[in-house]
Structures are given as C-alpha cells and as structure tokens.
Chains A and B, each alone.
Chain A
C-alpha cells in the first residue's frame, strides 16, 4: 500500500492521474458539466486535493508513517462516501429519462445495495485479511492498515456490484447512455473491478504487493484518461431519425388489418 519514496514510477502513477483530474475539474467547470454531474465533480476535486495533501504529508511531516496513514484513512473514507454519491447520481440520471423504470430502478438500487452489503460483510468475515487473530497479534499501525484494507475491499465489492448491476440493467432494457455518464460509470467500474481482484489476490500473494499497487495506480491513471475522453470530447450526435421510405398509408392499413385479425 505504501509506495517506496524513491521510486519514480510510483511517483508518476501516484501524482499524474491527480494532476489530470485537476485539469478535468477546470474542463468540467468550463463546459458546465459540474451541474450535470455534481457528485462526480466533487469527487474529482476531492481526489486532486487529497493527493496534494498526501504528497505534502509524505514530504514534510511523516514520510509514509502513522500520520500519513491516518490522513490516508480519513481521505479514503470521504472518497468512498463521495463515490457512493456518484453511483447514486448515475442511477438517478439514468432512470429520470425513463418513467417506466423509475420504480424498478429504485427497487434495483436498494435491493442490490442490501444484497451486496450482506455479501461484503460475509466476504470480510471469510477473507483472511479480516482474521481476528492476525489483527490481535499485529501492532496498532498494521492493525489500522488491515482494517483499512478490509473495509476498502468490502466497499469495493459493493461499488463494483452496483455498477455492474447498472450495466446489466441498461443492457437488458436496451437503455441509452449519455456519453459522460457512460464514461464515468465505465471508469469507476473498471477501477473497482481491478481493485477488487488485486486486493483479493494480495491476501495470498503478499510478495506481489508492490506489483498490485502499481497495477491499481496504472488502472486508475487509465480511468482518469477515460473520464477525460468521455467528458472533454464533444458528445457524439446520436442517430435521430430512421431514413423515411416512401410513405404508403395503404400498406400500413393492410398491416393494421392483419394485426387486428391475429
């Protein structure tokens, strides 16, 4: 979890996505997208600021020691809460344009949240990272690390599942995504999936911790680029009309008669 201070690649993957997020904040504000996706805008601002604070703490206060970890834990908690807000915003935006889906959409969001919450709790209990004996034997510092990791994994299960259910729902009902919303959901979903896989594998492959960290950071970088792509590029003009063939009411009347006779 803790990056090696002198590792340039770490520093690049740590800071570059957040610098890009600062650029994204400006771009979103300029294009008025902060009104369309207010929670995502807050998330982007927060992530950029959190990185600046963490870099400051690591450089001038406590390197990557307990203070850094405490600040990181608080930041992670706030960021997680905002991410839930972003997911809720995606659900709301999505179902607003389909009145017939508002009720099942609400049911889906609540039902999936409860189901995934139960699943996340079960996984937290079953997963070795949450082993009580191990936590009892650990120092306060590593205990905090374990708790953060366990909670992070549980939250990732929840977020990944919610986003996946949103994708499945839209797929089943053939719903149309707006470009920005799709980009946000795809970025969050890809990051949550990879983070979930690496955190689960990390429990058994501890020697690969650094590689998993790098993979997570690289994927986050990719997701920020994805958000920039979907939010900064002009929205593709959707196909508005089907090319009209020759208008022949007689043919349509025949069709109507045939349907009525069925």
Chain B
C-alpha cells in the first residue's frame, strides 16, 4: 500500500511539475526586456574570503572549538547565499545568451555562445559547490574548496562585458 501511495504521489508530482513548466515557458521575456532588474549583486571577493582555507585555519587557531564551529557555519551559510546568487545570475545570463545567439551579427552570436557555455559551467559548479558547502555546514571541520565557483564566476562576468561591448545588455554587467 505504501509503495502504491509513493508511486501515485510521485506520478502526480511529476505531472504537476511538467504542467507548471509548460505555463512558465513564456516568463523569460520579462527577463530579456529588463535583465538588470533581475540580476542581483554578487561580490566575488567576499565569497572568496568566506571560503579561503587560510581564513578558516586562522579562525580555528584563534577561537574555541565550539565558537569556531558556530562562526564557520555562519560563514558557510553566507557562502551558500553567494553561490546561489551567482547561479541565479547565470540563469538570467543564460536567457540573454540564448536570445543573443540568434543575432544576425556573427561576433555577437559567438560571444553569446561562449556566455551560454560559461553559464552552463557555472550552474554545474554551483550545484557541486552548494553540495559541498552544505556538507561543510553539517560538519564544519570538513575540508571544502568551492573556490572554482569564484573563478567560473569571474570568467562569466568577463564574457558578459565582452558581450555587452558588442551588444549592450542594459547594465547587466554593472550589477555583477
């Protein structure tokens, strides 16, 4: 009986998700019309500082274990917010890149292609980094190194600037 209930719940959940997705397909036009309004500010340096192992070791040497764990958890929660913000920005940039990929201008289309690839990579890194950060929140003494996200994010912002130079995107890069 429990197996049946699980199957039925999963089936309806799947159905609900697919129907919801079909309704949400048109919503990306709002993002394209005013991308800057949807992009949130993400400070790469602050994030890098939060996940710096030297900072972590410094705190560990200066604080009592219980206090270190509390502070480290807070730092990681903040880092997770930064990663989520960067991933959300990548999602918006992905929409912009897909619209720009259809541009008749070859240079713009090429820059958009690169931007799309970088956004995909960032989403992949963010997924893995978030998993690692959450492990770190549960076990604060565990070693994590999501600094690759910071590098990926920097690369992504460079692409946006490149894209913007050829094809202004309403102040998107200023928000990054």
Contact = CB atoms under 8 A, between A and B. Distances in A.
Contacts of A196: 7, 10-11
B169 interface: yes
Interface stretch (A62-70, A72-80, A142-150, A239-247): A239-247
Interface centre among A182, A189, A245 (most CB of B within 10 A): A189
A247 to B, nearest CB: 6
A164 B22 contact: no
Majority SS at the chain B contact face: helix
Interface stretch (B64-72, B76-84, B94-102, B133-141): B94-102
Given A174-B91, A196-B7, A200-B4, A259 B158 contact: yes
B11 to A, nearest CB: 4
A136 interface: no
Interface stretch (A11-19, A36-44, A48-56, A99-107): A99-107
Interface stretch (A1-9, A27-35, A83-91, A249-257): A249-257
Contact of A98 (B10, B18, B116, B161): B116
Nearest to B124: A104
Size bin of chain A's contact surface: 35 or more
A259 B157 contact: yes
Contacts of A126: 3
Majority SS at the chain A contact face: helix
Nearest to A197: B11
Contact of A189 (B18, B103, B127): B18
Size bin of chain B's contact surface: 35 or more
B103 A240 contact: yes
B121 interface: yes
A193 B3 contact: no
Nearest to A204: B4
Contacts of A234: none
A57 to B, nearest CB: 31
B14 A240 contact: no
Interface in B1-52: 1, 3-4, 7-8, 10-12, 14-15, 17-19, 21-22, 25, 28-29, 32-33, 35, 43-45
B2 to A, nearest CB: 9
Contacts of A249: 165
A212 to B, nearest CB: 12
B98 A127 contact: no
Contact of A123 (B1, B7, B15): B7
30 contacts: A98-B116, A98-B120, A104-B124, A127-B3, A128-B4, A160-B14, A167-B18, A168-B17, A172-B123, A174-B98, A174-B123, A177-B25, A186-B22, A190-B18, A193-B11, A197-B8, A197-B11, A200-B7, A239-B28, A239-B29, A240-B99, A241-B100, A241-B103, A242-B33, A242-B100, A245-B168, A247-B168, A252-B165, A256-B161, A258-B174
Given A127-B7, A167-B18, 11 more contacts: A98-B117, A123-B7, A128-B4, A172-B127, A173-B123, A174-B98, A238-B102, A239-B99, A242-B99, A242-B170, A255-B174
Interface of B: 1, 3-4, 7-8, 10-12, 14-15, 17-19, 21-22, 25, 28-29, 32-33, 35, 43-45, 91, 94-96, 98-100, 102-103, 116-117, 119-121, 123-124, 127, 157-158, 161, 164-165, 167-170, 173-174, 176
